[in-house]
Amino acid sequence: MRNVSIIGIGQTPVAEHWDSGLRDLAAHAARAALDDAGLTNVDSLIVANAFGAAISSQSHLAPLIADFAGLRGVEAYGVEVADGSGGAALRAGYLAVASGAVDTVMVLGVEKSTDMIGSAKVLARNVSLDADDEAMHGATLPALAALIMRRYMFEYEVDLASFEGFSINAHTNGSKYAHAMYRNILKPGAFVKAPMIADPVNLFDSAPDGDGAAAVILTATPTANAIRIAGSGAATDTLTLAERADLLWLQAIETSTNKALAEAGMTRDQINLFELHDSFTIMAALALEAAGFALRGMGWKLAQNGAIKPDGALPISTFGGLKSRGNPVGATGVYQAVEAVMQLRGTAGANQIANARTAMIQSVSGLGSSAFTHILSI
Amino acid sequence: MFSANGTGKPINFLMQPDRAVGIIGYGAYVPRYRLPGSEIAKLWTGTSAGSPVKEKAVAGPDEDVTTMSIEAARNALARAAIDPQQLRAVWIGSESHPYAVKPTSTIVAESIGTSPSIQAADWEFACKAGTEAVQASIGMIGSGMGLYALSIGMDTAQSRPGDALEYTAASGGAGFILGRAEEAVAIYQGSYSFVTDTPDFWRRSDEAFPSHGERFTGDPAYFHHITSAGRTLMEMMGTTAADYTYVVLHQPNVKFPQRAAGMLGFKEEQYATGLLANEIGNVYSGSCMIGLTAILDEAKAGDRILMLSYGSGAGSDAFDLRVTEKIDAVRGRATTTREYIARRTPIDYATYCRYRGLLKA
């Protein structure tokens, strides 16, 4: 396998982009990434998207975006693994370059989810659940997350306030970042009083859906400020929550993390920052545990004792994460890659983590049904 | 304001009739019942907090847009002190016309003694149907087609129980008789309309309650249209916020008109008199029109007023008015808007459901 590096990044702010469609957002990110890499073309385009068909009545995105991004004629295809699509596309691009089949790949994530509201939006979003055994019976992603969170609170005897540190950290970091969707600072105590979505998951617990596009360009022939993909690992767990033997262990995250670390030849103490999938605070707590950064039942402690803050032992959500920067569902994994590159280049501005040399990014679908973990390094 | 039309000649979008037109009579109507926001919050959220307005006006069981329009029309006629037979048009803007097919305006025209030599029609443009009729009235009087025309904005606004709109969707409105400037209590200096296809709020003909685009009803809808209309009219008139004594905006709640007024450079002392939403809710087609009646109840000769309506779908009408010395003689001839607001009978949610026909057997 050849070494693979990221040599270009591009993105739009995550927002309610009511005046831009899928193709506009994607073209903006693609051109920014090409400019950043100093390229005018690539060998291959891989498009990550979750809800184009369900929300924008648009599948078949790869040739559409290739055309509008000025890459007409290029090899292009799509990858869909719900909100893990971005990480999956990054791994596909990584494998394509590492194999020697192509030299440069653009991995582009794009999502447009805010043009639909109310029950239509719930139904569209529910296509990523188990249609027969979950969605059919009225389950939604927040409702299923609430089941896990309630179990966690019961098993480990922690209260709702114990999770507030995740959202406070995310918003504190996002408040310093112009591209973030919600830049308000959460005061201690506000979290437990937020309007309820699916008890105990409330408005300040759950990441907001946003529109956006992000792109990275991978190559086997790095430039001066290239960031190397040192390791890549992926795994699945059950799609159906009820099929899991252990509701409080995200097996796909454990497996993919171990694979990525093994490929990079690294240990956890070398990771300077971790961009995880904080779609709900319970997902952040469980990711820290399954990825081996906290003992079982103790993930919430890292939020409480400040370890996840920018100056802590393991900073997470350094630009706001899904909670504050926003969750552009299928594009989220590519946003994580863009943000990790900014940290490792030292261009993260007010969000810069001091002496960042190695970053772990983890793109997760649903409530851990699949996980794509990458380790980026200077 | 000005753009090339292909011939190199600039287009002036300012609307000014051939001969000056003004308001010669105005009249408000607010039904007496009030549903406090805390009653609605208590039912749906379990707390008494969270309502965007203190309370809203509710039409009684024997009231609808027809009866309420007749009340406002009589007040306007009393102030105008003209023979109803001199009216050439009765135009009623509403999204709560009692009939889908059969005009409200013919009933009102007949009831106030204007028929049969009269134009009558119902107008529809969400919450700006009433001010759209005012624009047309300016054209009618300004061209000399008629001496007087009556435009009314009146609603008994619908809201689905439990929807966010339920806190504000209210009943009430106002009417204006327009005539020549020489007889007017306030003269139109100029007007402007700004319209785009923006689907922020709608109700199909066979549906009982409206649908809305949630947060989309804010920035790209209300704020974009109402500030564009206001800014453009002021640019064309060569004015700034400081030139106006009063500003009155469509008021779906309290915060929206406050923020929009601020965006246009207005201060609280300019918008406070016409901002009635906290006490009566959002009376839809009548919203900024009844706000204007509250201003005319207090205004002095020489005062300048900017009026900005908003209708979903979407558009905004902007009017620049100057009050004349005739206002002092006219305002006392009918019930003032503040008197209507003070005439208040609070009701609970169950009574509200009965009055609004929300109970289904």
User: A44 has which bridge partners?
Assistant: A75, A105
Same domain, B77 and B167: yes
pLDDT tens per residue across span B68-101? 999 999 999 999 999 999 999 999 999 999 999 9
pLDDT tens per residue across span A150-162? 999 999 999 999 9
Alpha-carbon dihedral sign for residues A307, A310, A315, A320? positive
Least CB-CB distance to B220: which of A18, A117, A118?
A18
The last residue of one of the domains, among B185, B216, B240, is B185
**Structural domain of B157:** 21-185
Alpha-carbon dihedral sign for residues A152, A158, A160, A165? negative
Please name the residues in contact with A171: beta carbons below 8 A apart, sequence gap of 6 or more.
Answer: A182, A183, A184, A185, A186, A320, A323, A324
- Band of pLDDT at residue A333, cut at 50, 70 and 90: very high
* Distance to chain A for B220, nearest Cα, Å: 8
Interval B107-117 mean pLDDT: 97
pLDDT of the residue at B215: 85
Supply φ then ψ for residue B114, to 5 degrees. Answer: -100, -25
Same domain, B239 and B117: no
Listed by number, the residues of chain B in 187-246 with a beta carbon closer than 8 Å to a beta carbon of chain A are: 213-216, 220
CB-CB contact of A190 with A210 (8 Å): no
The packing angle between helices B224-237 and B255-263, to 10°, is: 40
List CB contacts (< 8 A) between B220 and chain A: 18-19
Q: Is residue B336 part of a domain?
A: no
Active site residue B250: yes
Interval B322-335 mean pLDDT: 97
Instruction: Give residue limits of the domains in chain A.
Output: 5-116+207-377
Interval A234-260 mean pLDDT: 97
**Mean pLDDT computed over every residue of chain B:** 95
Question: What's A5-116+207-377's CATH class?
Answer: alpha beta
Same domain, B63 and B118: yes
**pLDDT top residue among B9 and A107:** A107
Listed by number, the residues of chain A in 71-130 with a beta carbon closer than 8 Å to a beta carbon of chain B are: 117-118
CB-CB contact of A373 with A253 (8 Å): yes
- Band of pLDDT at residue B132, cut at 50, 70 and 90: very high
Q: Is residue B340 part of a domain?
A: no
What is the bridge-based pairing of β-strands A104-111 and A44-48? parallel
Catalytic: which of B95, B132, B183, B279? Answer: B95
Same domain, B91 and B193: no
pLDDT of the residue at A278: 98
Supply φ then ψ for residue B318, to 5 degrees. Answer: -120, 135
The last residue of one of the domains, among B127, B158, B185, is B185
Angstrom distance (rounded) from CA A271 to CA A261: 10
pLDDT of the residue at B1: 39
Interval A28-53 mean pLDDT: 97
Angstrom distance (rounded) from CA A151 to CA A158: 10
- Chosen for mutation from A16, A17, A18, A197 (greatest number of chain B CBs closer than 10 Å) is A18
Q: Is residue B2 part of a domain?
A: no
CATH number at residue B147: 3.40.47.10
Would the CB atoms of A118 and B214 count as touching at under 8 Å?
Answer: yes
**DSSP line for B41-79:** HHHHHSSS---SSSEEEE--TT--HHHHHHHHHHHHHHH
In chain A, the percentage of residues whose pLDDT exceeds 90 is 97
Nearest by Cα to A48 from A107, A109, A96: A109
Interval A139-154 mean pLDDT: 98
Same domain, B127 and B197: no
What is the bridge-based pairing of β-strands B246-249 and B304-308? parallel
CB-CB contact of A56 with A21 (8 Å): yes
Same domain, B191 and B139: no
pLDDT of the residue at A332: 98
Active site residue B353: no
CB-CB contact of A80 with A330 (8 Å): yes
Q: With 80 as the cut, is the pLDDT of residue B10 above it?
A: no
User: B56 has which bridge partners?
Assistant: B35
User: A18 touching B, CB under 8 A?
Assistant: yes
Q: With 80 as the cut, is the pLDDT of residue A182 above it?
A: yes
Chains A, B: CB contacts within 8 A come to: 8
Interval A167-183 mean pLDDT: 97
pLDDT of the residue at B361: 74
Same domain, B135 and B202: no
Q: Is residue B123 part of a domain?
A: yes
Would the CB atoms of B214 and A16 count as touching at under 8 Å?
Answer: no
Same domain, B253 and B119: no
Supply φ then ψ for residue A59, to 5 degrees. Answer: -105, -165
Interval A251-271 mean pLDDT: 98
Task: Give the gyration radius of chain A's Cα atoms.
Answer: 19
CB-CB contact of B120 with B109 (8 Å): yes
- Give the Cβ contact number of residue B78 at 10 Å: 15
Question: Which of the 8 DSSP states describes residue B125?
Answer: B
Active site residue B55: no
Same domain, B175 and B48: yes
* Distance to chain B for A117, nearest Cα, Å: 7
* Distance to chain A for B215, nearest Cα, Å: 10
Same domain, B255 and B321: yes
CA distances from B135 to B91, B140, B208, B211, B288 (A): 11, 9, 29, 27, 14
Q: Is residue B7 part of a domain?
A: no
Report the largest interatomic distance among the alpha carbons of chain B, rounded to a whole angstrom.
65
Supply φ then ψ for residue A83, to 5 degrees. Answer: -80, 0
Please state the pTM of the whole predicted model.
0.85
Q: With 60 as the cut, is the pLDDT of residue B4 above it?
A: no
List CB contacts (< 8 A) between A16 and chain B: 215
What is the bridge-based pairing of β-strands A196-198 and A201-202? antiparallel
Q: Is residue B125 part of a domain?
A: yes
The packing angle between helices A164-174 and A281-290, to 10°, is: 100
Would the CB atoms of A117 and B220 count as touching at under 8 Å?
Answer: no
Interval B160-185 mean pLDDT: 96
Same domain, B164 and B229: no
Alpha-carbon dihedral sign for residues A316, A318, A320, A325? negative
- Chosen for mutation from B44, B215, B223 (greatest number of chain A CBs closer than 10 Å) is B215
Place of tokens 């009155």: B248
Q: With 80 as the cut, is the pLDDT of residue B178 above it?
A: yes
**DSSP line for B10-50:** BP---B--SS-EEEEEEEEE--SEEEEHHHHHHHHHSSS--
* Distance to chain A for B111, nearest Cα, Å: 44
Q: Is residue B335 part of a domain?
A: no
List CB contacts (< 8 A) between A117 and chain B: 213-214, 216
- Chosen for mutation from A115, A117, A197 (greatest number of chain B CBs closer than 10 Å) is A117
pLDDT of the residue at A225: 85
In chain B, the percentage of residues whose pLDDT exceeds 90 is 91
List CB contacts (< 8 A) between A208 and chain B: none
Would the CB atoms of B213 and A19 count as touching at under 8 Å?
Answer: no
Number of domains in chain B: 2
Same domain, B70 and B213: no
The last residue of one of the domains, among B136, B167, B185, is B185
List CB contacts (< 8 A) between B215 and chain A: 16
Catalytic: which of B55, B71, B97, B127? Answer: B127
pLDDT tens per residue across span B206-248? 898 999 988 899 999 999 999 999 999 999 999 999 999 999 9
What is the bridge-based pairing of β-strands B33-36 and B55-58? antiparallel
pLDDT of the residue at B3: 47
Q: Is residue B255 part of a domain?
A: yes
**Mean pLDDT computed over every residue of chain A:** 97
Among A186-190, B48-52, B284-288, B292-296, the range scoring the smallest mean pLDDT is B48-52
- Helices then strands, counting H and E runs in chain A, come out as 12, 11
CA A184 to mean position of chain CA atoms: 21
B256 burial (CB, 10 Å; 0-12 / 13-18 / 19+) is buried
List CB contacts (< 8 A) between A118 and chain B: 214
CB-CB contact of A74 with A356 (8 Å): no
Q: With 80 as the cut, is the pLDDT of residue A113 above it?
A: yes
Identity of the amino acid at A249: W
ipTM attached to this prediction = 0.71
